[in-house]
Amino acid sequence: MQRQQLVHQTSLKQSHTIALAIVIPAKNEAKNLKQTLPALLNALKRFHNPFRVIVVDDHSTDDTAQVAKNYTIQVYLGQGEGPGLLAI
Protein backbone atom coordinates (compact mmCIF):
# COMPACT_ATOMS: atom_id res chain seq x y z
CA MET A 1 0.00 0.00 0.00
CA GLN A 2 1.45 3.34 -1.05
CA ARG A 3 1.36 5.98 1.65
CA GLN A 4 0.97 9.64 0.86
CA GLN A 5 3.24 12.12 2.56
CA LEU A 6 1.29 14.35 4.91
CA VAL A 7 2.62 17.65 6.20
CA HIS A 8 0.74 19.37 8.98
CA GLN A 9 2.23 22.83 9.53
CA THR A 10 2.87 24.52 12.83
CA SER A 11 1.23 27.85 13.52
CA LEU A 12 4.54 29.56 12.70
CA LYS A 13 4.84 31.38 9.41
CA GLN A 14 7.30 29.86 6.96
CA SER A 15 9.33 33.08 6.86
CA HIS A 16 10.36 32.85 10.51
CA THR A 17 13.78 31.49 11.33
CA ILE A 18 13.43 28.35 13.39
CA ALA A 19 15.63 28.48 16.48
CA LEU A 20 14.95 24.88 17.50
CA ALA A 21 13.67 21.81 15.65
CA ILE A 22 12.80 18.59 17.42
CA VAL A 23 12.35 15.43 15.35
CA ILE A 24 10.50 12.53 16.97
CA PRO A 25 10.72 9.18 15.16
CA ALA A 26 7.61 7.16 15.94
CA LYS A 27 6.10 3.79 15.16
CA ASN A 28 2.90 2.82 16.96
CA GLU A 29 3.47 5.53 19.58
CA ALA A 30 -0.03 7.04 19.74
CA LYS A 31 -0.41 6.27 23.45
CA ASN A 32 3.00 7.74 24.33
CA LEU A 33 2.56 10.81 22.12
CA LYS A 34 -0.68 11.69 23.91
CA GLN A 35 1.42 12.23 27.05
CA THR A 36 4.70 13.39 25.54
CA LEU A 37 3.54 16.04 23.07
CA PRO A 38 1.53 18.19 25.51
CA ALA A 39 4.41 18.16 27.99
CA LEU A 40 6.94 19.00 25.27
CA LEU A 41 4.83 21.82 23.82
CA ASN A 42 4.22 23.30 27.27
CA ALA A 43 7.95 23.29 27.95
CA LEU A 44 8.72 24.86 24.58
CA LYS A 45 6.30 27.73 25.24
CA ARG A 46 8.82 29.01 27.78
CA PHE A 47 11.52 28.96 25.10
CA HIS A 48 10.16 32.23 23.56
CA ASN A 49 11.77 31.50 20.19
CA PRO A 50 10.33 29.98 17.02
CA PHE A 51 10.42 26.19 17.12
CA ARG A 52 9.20 23.26 15.09
CA VAL A 53 8.25 19.79 16.26
CA ILE A 54 8.27 17.09 13.59
CA VAL A 55 6.91 13.58 14.07
CA VAL A 56 8.13 10.99 11.57
CA ASP A 57 5.58 8.19 11.50
CA ASP A 58 7.23 4.96 10.32
CA HIS A 59 4.26 2.94 9.01
CA SER A 60 2.32 2.90 12.29
CA THR A 61 -0.77 0.74 12.48
CA ASP A 62 -2.25 2.80 15.31
CA ASP A 63 -3.30 6.47 15.43
CA THR A 64 0.23 7.89 15.74
CA ALA A 65 -0.14 10.34 12.83
CA GLN A 66 -3.59 11.51 13.92
CA VAL A 67 -2.45 12.11 17.50
CA ALA A 68 0.48 14.19 16.25
CA LYS A 69 -1.76 16.19 13.89
CA ASN A 70 -4.06 17.00 16.81
CA TYR A 71 -1.20 19.02 18.31
CA THR A 72 -0.66 21.06 15.13
CA ILE A 73 2.85 19.89 14.44
CA GLN A 74 4.51 18.62 11.28
CA VAL A 75 3.89 14.97 10.54
CA TYR A 76 5.66 12.93 7.88
CA LEU A 77 4.36 9.49 6.99
CA GLY A 78 6.89 6.84 6.03
CA GLN A 79 7.32 6.04 2.36
CA GLY A 80 8.78 2.93 0.82
CA GLU A 81 8.76 -0.78 1.40
CA GLY A 82 9.82 -1.29 4.97
CA PRO A 83 10.58 0.22 8.35
CA GLY A 84 13.02 3.07 8.54
CA LEU A 85 12.54 4.18 4.93
CA LEU A 86 11.34 7.74 4.62
CA ALA A 87 11.25 9.99 1.60
CA ILE A 88 10.73 13.62 2.47
Q: Each residue of 1-24: pLDDT tens digit?
A: 333 333 344 444 455 688 889 999
Q: What is the pLDDT of residues 24-71, one digit of tens each?
A: 999 999 999 999 999 999 999 888 888 889 999 989 999 999 999 998
CA distance 44 to 56: 19
Q: Is 79 exposed, middle or buried (0-12, 13-18, 19+ CB in 10 A)?
A: middle
The count of structural domains within the chain is: 1
Q: Give the predicted TM-score (pTM) of the model.
A: 0.69
Q: Do residues 54 and 73 make contact, with C-beta atoms less than 8 angstroms apart?
A: yes
Beta bridge partners of 27: none
Q: Which domain holds residue 4?
A: 1-88
Q: What confidence category does residue 82 fall into, taking pLDDT thresholds of 50, 70 and 90?
A: low
